[in-house]
Amino acid sequence: MASFRSALFIALLLLAPAPAVAADLVYPPGSRVGLVPTAGLIPSKSFFGFEDPDNKVGIILAALPADAFAEIEKTADAATMKKQGLIFEQREDFPLALGKAFLISGREAEGAGNRRWLLVAATPELTVLATVQVPEAARGTYSDEAIRALLSSIAVRATVPPDEQLSLLPFKVGELAEFQIGAVLPGRAVILSDSPKGTPVSAIEPHLVIAVAPGGPTQISEREAFARDLFGTIANLKDIRIDASEPLRLGGQIGHQILATAKDAATGADVTVVQWLRFGGSGYLQIIGVATTERWTPAYGRFRQVRDSIEPR
């Protein structure tokens, strides 16, 4: 876990795009973290944060588990920055209304020498990371003082409305069948689960993974083999036995269904699994439903409710 957090810290430090300031607190769609952007900054369509495309400035906002703060606090230093081709300039306490925080500033060792800032803040529920990058040519607008003002305005909201989370997907989910939204990967996938709201998705609670991907078989005769191969990539299952594998139509399109029994790899619990594929012109929709065998019957009905409500956006 520590290496994951360190890697994520490094990735965010490297990624940075840029800032700007408006009048009101703004949360990028799907993000729990927001700030007051300056004129010129707009919510990004490619990451959680803000960007000023004309000036090539950007701010990436991320929310990590609360215990990530301690790990990042230990690894965020000059040596770490140097390994990533960055020149460390300063690290300082940066108290915020939402909790303890520190700010690191530096610049690229090579290339254009873009300015970088990394703010790390602790809250009772999560760790906030804000990464800023400003090209030298934009320093007149995005001065150190302007960046500090932006970062001082960072806030965290309790939840992201479900409709806002689902709006980030390339498909519509019309019926949640009383599932909670466990996680959303913008532009790609959503996890729906019976795990309590605000807790990690449990492998043994009924849950659905819905995702789109490019590609897929070009010939009808190849679809069953493709479906079986894809099913074989489902994580955290062992002792898998496929009970049915057959074509069917989903939402008026050609699809495929696999039903199987297995054991949850972590707990050994008996689970039943369904995979539905819906094929399109340039990609496919994959729906995976998992529930313990004893809870399968009611869960399967709810899985189908969700499945039948999915439409292209």
The CATH code of the domain that includes 202 is 3.40.1000.10
The domain in which residue 226 lies consists of: 162-312
Domain stops at, among 156, 186, 211: 156
Residue ranges of E strands in the chain: 33-34, 42-43, 49-52, 57-65, 86-93, 101-108, 115-122, 126-134, 155-156, 171-173, 180-185, 189-193, 207-214, 237-250, 253-264, 270-279, 283-292, 310-312
Interatomic CA distance for residues 115 and 81, integer angstroms: 13
Query: Domain ends where: 136, 156, 176?
Result: 156
| DSSP category for residue 63 | E
Instruction: Give residue-wise pLDDT tens across range 58-116.
Output: 999 999 999 999 999 998 888 888 888 888 999 999 999 989 999 999 998 877 778 99
pLDDT value for 285: 96
Please check whether residues 101 and 209 belong to one and the same domain: no
Is the same domain home to 304 and 225?
yes
Q: The tokens of 141 are what? A: 């607008």
Q: Are residues 149 and 239 in the same domain?
A: no
Task: Report pLDDT for 280.
Answer: 86
Would you state the pLDDT for residue 313? 83
147 and 216: one domain? no
Asked whether residue 99 falls in the same domain as residue 173, the answer is: no
pTM: 0.71
pLDDT greater than 50 at residue 14: no
Query: CA angle, 150 as apex, 146 and 156 as ends, to 5°?
Result: 175
Q: How far apart are the first and last CA of the chain?
A: 36
If asked whether residues 265 and 304 sit together in one domain, one would say yes
Alpha-carbon distances of 52 from 40, 43, 49, rounded to whole Å:
6, 9, 11
Which residues, in sequence order, are bridge partners of residue 310? Answer: 173
**Segment 167-216, tens digit of pLDDT:** 999 999 999 999 999 888 888 999 999 987 766 677 779 999 999 999 99
Q: Between 81 and 123, whose confidence is greater? A: 123
Q: What SS3 class is residue 304?
A: helix
Q: Which of 72, 105, 82 is nearest to 3 (CA)?
A: 72
pLDDT of residue 203: 75
250 and 179 within one domain: yes
Distance (Å, rounded) from C-alpha 52 to C-alpha 62? Answer: 18
Residue 192 has a pLDDT of 96
What does the alpha-carbon distance between residue 154 and residue 129 come to, in Å, rounded to a whole number? 10
Domain total in the chain:
2
Chain mean pLDDT for the chain:
88
The 10s digit of each residue's pLDDT in 220-255 is 899 999 999 999 999 999 999 999 999 999 888 899
User: At 190, is the secondary structure helix, strand, or coil?
Assistant: strand
169 with 96, same domain: the answer is no
Does one domain contain both 92 and 171?
no
pLDDT of residue 9: 42
Same domain, 206 and 135: no
* pLDDT of res. 7: 40
| pLDDT score, position 1 | 39
Q: Which of 121, 156, 191 is the last residue of a domain?
A: 156
Q: Show the DSSP H helices in 47-166 as ranges.
A: 68-75, 78-83, 144-152, 162-166
Whether residues 121 and 225 fall in one domain: no
**Whether the Cβ atoms of residue 30 and residue 165 lie closer than 8 Å to each other:** yes
- Domain co-membership, 147 together with 179: no
Question: In this model, does residue 261 exceed pLDDT 60?
Answer: yes
Q: Are 215 and 198 in contact (CB under 8 A)?
A: no
Query: For the purposes of burial, counting CB atoms within 10 Å of the CB of 288, is it exposed (0-12), middle (13-18) or buried (19 or more)?
Result: buried
pLDDT > 70 in the chain, percent:
92
Residue 23 pLDDT: 53
CB contact at 8 A, 216 and 284: yes
State the helix-helix crossing angle for 68-75 and 2-15, rounded to 10 degrees. Answer: 70
